[in-house]
Amino acid sequence: MAIEDGFDWDHLRYFLAVARTGRLTAAAARLRQDHTTVSRRIAALERALATPLFERSPQGYGLTSAGRRLLVTAEAMERTALAAHKDIQGDGPLVSGTVRIGAPDGFGSYFLAPRVGGLIREFPDLRPELVALPRVFSLSKREADIAIGLSRPTEGRLYARKLADYRLGLYATPSYLAGHPPIETPDDLKRQVLIGYAEDFIFTPELDYLPLIAPGAVPQFRSSTLVAQLQATLAGAGLCVLPCFMALGHPGLVPVLDTVSILRTFWLITHADLHDLPRIRATGDFIAREARAARTLFVPEERPTDE
């Protein structure tokens, strides 16, 4: 495929931003440009390469087959440019730009969001974006640069490292417990008001808790998000399985049935094409450090092994 004289290497910055965000407006915000400039640059790049790079739709900009091939090359060029900067400057990698972190709503809203200020203070030129939603994020489709998952990926060109184990328990308010029959065994849960996930939003098997603790029990209130479940529980609506790192921040909640103890794991996942970019590595290292420091928050019963 011949490259015409109109090809401008700088257009690739705009291409990468649109490919990673899927929208002109989001790409413009990353680049600190207006969306008409981004659109003009993309159009110029497509003319220079004599092929469409994106499929436009109401849902956004999706890569064509040619766009996916160019993405690999463009990201390799980005890594080379950053390596050249590091080599010439000689004072460490340049940590700047936008990093989108996709995380489950509980981890994102209750753990990571309060700590993101430390990341910004450490890297003033970094612009983190936190997407805290109950879903699996596709790194191959560039829905996020870093994803926090509940299972280690087994397919794709992905890097994964364990962040932390975390414990979940069954919680309710004292007012709820006082107004309902006593709970002495898991079988008693069938006569209680249970709170859980709407079935369509159990986005990974690791979230399907109720069959483990009360087979046959059905939640009376369901929600798509863990944060909404927590709020309903705090209001005395019922019993809910919650991560300890969320529940212990609310003195109005008490644990129910000590035998209910579920252990899960958070994983930090990055795509092989982005893994070594300074902004990705720095952000991932920061999250990993914060998770290690909060070990006893995630698993309150855990004690150092050398005791």
Binning pLDDT at 50, 70 and 90, where does residue 6 land? low
Question: In terms of residues, how long is the chain?
Answer: 307
61 CB-contact burial (10 Å; exposed 0-12 / middle 13-18 / buried 19+): buried
Report the distance separating Cα 47 and Cα 53, nearest Å: 10
Report the distance separating Cα 200 and Cα 223, nearest Å: 10
Residue range 196-239, pLDDT digits in tens: 999 888 988 999 988 888 888 889 999 999 999 999 999 999 99
Residue range 170-181, pLDDT digits in tens: 999 999 999 999
Residue range 277-301, pLDDT digits in tens: 899 999 999 999 999 999 999 998 6
Contact in structure between 173 and 233 (CB atoms under 8 Å): yes
Report the distance separating Cα 37 and Cα 43, nearest Å: 10
The maximal CA–CA distance of the chain, rounded, in angstroms, is 79
Question: What region does 196 belong to: left with phi over 0, alpha with psi -120 to 50, or beta?
Answer: beta
19 CB-contact burial (10 Å; exposed 0-12 / middle 13-18 / buried 19+): buried
